Amino acid sequence: MASPDDLTGPKIKLFEAREKIFPKAISGNYRRLKWAIMAITLAIYYVTPWLRWDRGPYAPDQAVLVDIANRRFFMFAIEIWPHEFYYVAGLLIMAGIGLFLVTSSVGRAWCGYACPQTVWTDLFLHVERLIDGDRNAQIRLQRAPWTAGKVAKRVTKHGIWLLIAVATGGAWIFYFADAPTLARQLFAGDAPFVAYATVAILTATTYVLGGLMREQFCIYACPWPRIQGAMLDEKSLIVTYKYWRGEPRTHGTKRAGEAARRPETDHGGDPQPGVPSLEPIDVAAQMTARIGDCIDCNACVSVCPTGIDIREGSQIGCITCGLCIDACDEIMDKIGRPPRLIGYSTVADEFAAAEGRPTESVARRLFRPRTIVYFLIWGSIGLAMLFALGTRQRLDLSVSQNRNPVYVRLSDGSVRNAFELKVRNMQSRPREVEVSVSGVPGAVIWSANGSRANGASTLRMNLPADQVAKTRLFLAAPEAGPARSELTFSVRALDAEGGQASQTSFFERPEAGQ
Question: Which spans of this chain sit near other proteins (rule: CB under 8 A)?
Answer: 1-2, 4, 7-8, 404-405, 408-413, 416, 418, 448-449, 451-453, 474, 479
Write the single-letter amino acid at 60: P
Residue (238 or 440) nearer to other proteins, CB: 440
CA 263 from centre of chain: 53
Q: Are 51 and 62 in contact (CB under 8 A)?
A: yes
According to DSSP, the β-strands at 458-463 and 467-477 are unpaired
Backbone phi, then psi, for 97, in 5-degree steps?
-65, -35
Q: Are 144 and 28 in contact (CB under 8 A)?
A: no
Residue (8 or 272) nearer to other proteins, CB: 8
**CA angle, 123 as apex, 121 and 129 as ends, to 5°?**
100
> What is the closest distance, in whole angstroms, from the C-beta atom of residue 133 to other proteins in the complex?
40
Residue (312 or 479) nearer to other proteins, CB: 479
Judged on CB neighbours under 10 Å (0-12, 13-18, 19+), 498 is: exposed
Whole-angstrom Cα distance, residue 275 to residue 289?
20
> What is the closest distance, in whole angstroms, from the C-beta atom of residue 463 to other proteins in the complex?
16
Whole-angstrom Cα distance, residue 463 to residue 471?
11
Residue (290 or 409) nearer to other proteins, CB: 409
The distance in angstroms from the start CA to the end CA of the chain is 103
Residue (272 or 449) nearer to other proteins, CB: 449
> What is the closest distance, in whole angstroms, from the C-beta atom of residue 451 to other proteins in the complex?
8
> What is the closest distance, in whole angstroms, from the C-beta atom of residue 421 to other proteins in the complex?
14
Whole-angstrom Cα distance, residue 407 to residue 90?
43
Residue (455 or 499) nearer to other proteins, CB: 455
> What is the closest distance, in whole angstroms, from the C-beta atom of residue 465 to other proteins in the complex?
19
> What is the closest distance, in whole angstroms, from the C-beta atom of residue 413 to other proteins in the complex?
4
Residue (311 or 416) nearer to other proteins, CB: 416
Classified as helix, coil or strand, 437 is strand
> What is the closest distance, in whole angstroms, from the C-beta atom of residue 427 to other proteins in the complex?
24
Q: What is the CA radius of gyration of the chain?
A: 35
Dihedral Cα 257, 259, 264, 266, nearest 10 deg: -150
Q: How many residues does the chain have?
A: 514
Residue (65 or 476) nearer to other proteins, CB: 476
Residue (24 or 452) nearer to other proteins, CB: 452
> What is the closest distance, in whole angstroms, from the C-beta atom of residue 213 to other proteins in the complex?
24
Q: Are 251 and 379 in contact (CB under 8 A)?
A: no
> What is the closest distance, in whole angstroms, from the C-beta atom of residue 469 to other proteins in the complex?
14
State the DSSP H helix or E strand holding residue 476, giving kind and residue range, or none if neither. Answer: strand 467-477
